[in-house]
Amino acid sequence: MSVAIVGGGLGALRTAESLVTAGYTGEVTVISDENFFPYNRPPLSKEALKGGIETEALEFKRKTSVDNVNWILGDRASQVSLANKSLTLASGGTLDFEGLAIATGIRPRRLSVEGPTLGRHTLRTIDDAKSLRSTLQNSKTLLVVGAGFIGCEVAATARLLGLSVTVVAIDEQPMVRPLGLDLASELRRRHEAKGVQFHLGVGIEAFTGEEVATGVRLSDGSELYADVIVEAIGSVPNTEWLSGNDLELSDGVLVDESMQVVGTDVPAVAVGDIARYPHRLFDDIPRRIEHWNLPTETGRRAGKTLAARLCGQEVLIEPVNFIPTFWSDQYEYNIQSFGMPGIADRQELAFGNWENELVVEYFRGDDLVGVVGIDSVPQLVPYRSRLMKRA
Amino acid sequence: MKVVVDMSKCQHYGQCCFEAEDVFQLDDDGKLVHAAEADESRRSDVESAADVCPMQAITIE
């Protein structure tokens, strides 16, 4: 028996661990297009970008449960046939499987506007971070396009490294989608107090420069220039290799609550950033959420599901009860979130004050759907049981 | 089982406290305190705590 896990990040690792722990004894092969074992990505925009990127320190501990996994690094699946249970690898080979785990995650979205494509950094992988770090070290000015997690974290790290930083985004405020307007405005104030300049609510018309991008022209006609440009405008799920199998791929891969891929009878699961499923603690709408704890949660569930399918056992479909969580470090501020503040229609300051430590509660109607704290971890801990009680 | 936290890595995010509140807590200053030993019956939650640690600072021996 054999399982192919396509993708080599945290979701792939947790799926492999869970498969083995659940009693599956067949072969497991992980195919990753990166040349590293699964590693921790969050530091790439924060401490590793600032202090140095040491691959070994970033790699996750590999538990004894994955001792027998075959790791194919530096290759990728270019196509899969679910009907034939066969993968075509970019290197030319094929790999047959009985069970498939889809863990190819996401890649940075790129702006499709005029101008040079060279000289526009993105940040997702160790290689991206190494390249950006060495460029930042030899530069004085940084232009960040996008004001989400990565954009804000890179801006903060670059300020700490002494660069002059400008952020351009179509959004009204930085991180406005996960934080809501009030807290996002406060985040902007903190960035501005550290010297970051914002151009918000404005689009990019073109990248400027000859061979290499050296600036942008904005939709209001103005132009900005910088030594380094980082594009951080969100992500695209890596689903191209799955096409031709009649799957629902409009935004990632649609799965049920056991992480089984919808639309096929082949034992196939999807995990992590690419998986779209209903978060039942909140509502029935399938969502793809790119938060830190979800590759672990979905990987655990998917491994059990796949093991049951391949061992001829019944798959237990339990309602998803994960509470999405993220954190973000910007300057000395530690921002942590639990739940889904992004779906709220109202927010309320519940602890502290806007300028310092704080906790903000997020409501949809009268319903608490999320909480965000800045430098207030002890105050956040009791919210877990409150959010879990939603079940 | 023994619960070990590398305090040179720990940044007191408190994610572990959510997974196993009886083993990991934050004190009044927001610093992590944890039990040195946990009962075998708590293994699954303690492993979860180690898995979700942002700094990957927790090991179980």
pLDDT single digits (tens) A189-244? 999 999 999 999 999 999 999 999 999 999 999 999 999 999 999 999 999 999 99
DSSP chain B: -BEEE-TTT-----HHHHH-TTTEEE-TTS-EEE-SB--GGGHHHHHHHHHH-TT--EEE-
Instruction: Name every chain A residue with its beta carbon within 8 A of the beta carbon of B52.
Output: 292-293, 296, 325
The alpha-carbon gap from A32 to the nearest alpha carbon of chain B, in Å, equals 21
The alpha-carbon gap from B50 to the nearest alpha carbon of chain A, in Å, equals 10
Is ipTM over 0.85?
yes
CB-nearest to B14 from A60, A296, A381 is: A381
Domains present along chain B, CATH in parentheses:
3-60 (3.30.70.20)
**Residues A367, B51, B14, CA angle at the centre, nearest 5°?**
55
Contact between residue A371 and residue A339 where contact means Cβ atoms under 8 Å apart: yes
Residue B24: name the closest of A316, B8, B7 by CA: B7
What pLDDT, on the 0 to 100 scale, is given for residue B19?
Answer: 87
Alpha-carbon distance A14 to A63, whole Å? 10
| pLDDT single digits (tens) A85-107 | 999 999 999 999 999 999 999 99
What is the biggest distance separating any 2 CA atoms in chain A, rounded to whole angstroms?
A: 63
CB-nearest to B52 from A296, A334, A381 is: A296
Domains present along chain A, CATH in parentheses:
2-107+235-310 (3.50.50.60), 111-231 (3.50.50.60), 332-388 (3.30.390.30)
| pLDDT single digits (tens) A323-337 | 999 999 999 999 999
A61/B56 touch (CB, cutoff 8 Å), yes or no:
yes
Q: Which amino acid is at A22?
A: A
Which positions in chain A have a beta carbon within 8 angstroms of at least one beta carbon in chain B?
14, 40, 42, 60-61, 292-293, 296, 323, 325, 327, 334, 336, 338, 375-378, 380-381, 384
